[in-house]
Structure 1
Amino acid sequence: MTAESPHADEEVDARGLNCPLPILRTKKALARLESGQVLAVLTTDPHAGRDFQAFCQQTGNALLAQRMREDAVQVHYVQRR
């Protein structure tokens, strides 16, 4: 994971949703992207960090970065395999 936030080709707003909804919305959005494109997912679920790590490990998509914004929103950058 890099210090800078990667460029995102698309963004999914999953704020206010709890597991498994952020992951389900991520899967749906990734299906629309081409290989190598990056999806940024906004979440507020405190367990989302671990959920995205497990999701990427299981699916082969790359978790490029996870950032906590000042407004307590976590941003997960997933690159489609």
Structure 2
Amino acid sequence: MSGPLVVDALGRRCPLPVIMLAKLAAGHSPGTRIEVLADDPAAAVDIPAWCRLRGHTFISTDGDRHTVELR
């Protein structure tokens, strides 16, 4: 099994990290893990909110790394 997919949104202001996440997620199946690298403080709120709205699982935030699992 390979590691998670990565969205590099460092230096991008919200909502761009969430838009980039949504684009990548659209092409992948449930169970796929995606790590979003985002240093905008709003990403720590926006990414979990996006997960709740879309029915995906927000796994964690570790610094600028936000991990999501698609459902």
Q: 1:27 aligns with which of 13, 22, 34?
A: 22
Cα deviation, residue 8, structure 1:
4.1
- Where structure 1 has 5 or more consecutive residues not aligned to the other structure, the ranges are 1-6, 69-73
> 2:14 & 2:60 partners in 1: Cα distance?
19
Normalised to the residue count of structure 1, the TM-score between the two structures is 0.80
Cα deviation, residue 28, structure 1:
0.5
Q: Which residue of 1 aligns with 2:10?
A: 15
Q: Deviations for 1:29-65, whole angstroms, at most 9, x for unmatched residues? A: 1112211110000001011101112111111110011
- Where structure 2 has 5 or more consecutive residues not aligned to the other structure, the ranges are none
> 1:24 & 1:8 partners in 2: Cα distance?
22
> 1:77 & 1:59 partners in 2: Cα distance?
15
Contact 1:8 1:77 in 2 (8 A): no
Matched residue SS, 1:78: strand
> 1:41 & 1:8 partners in 2: Cα distance?
13
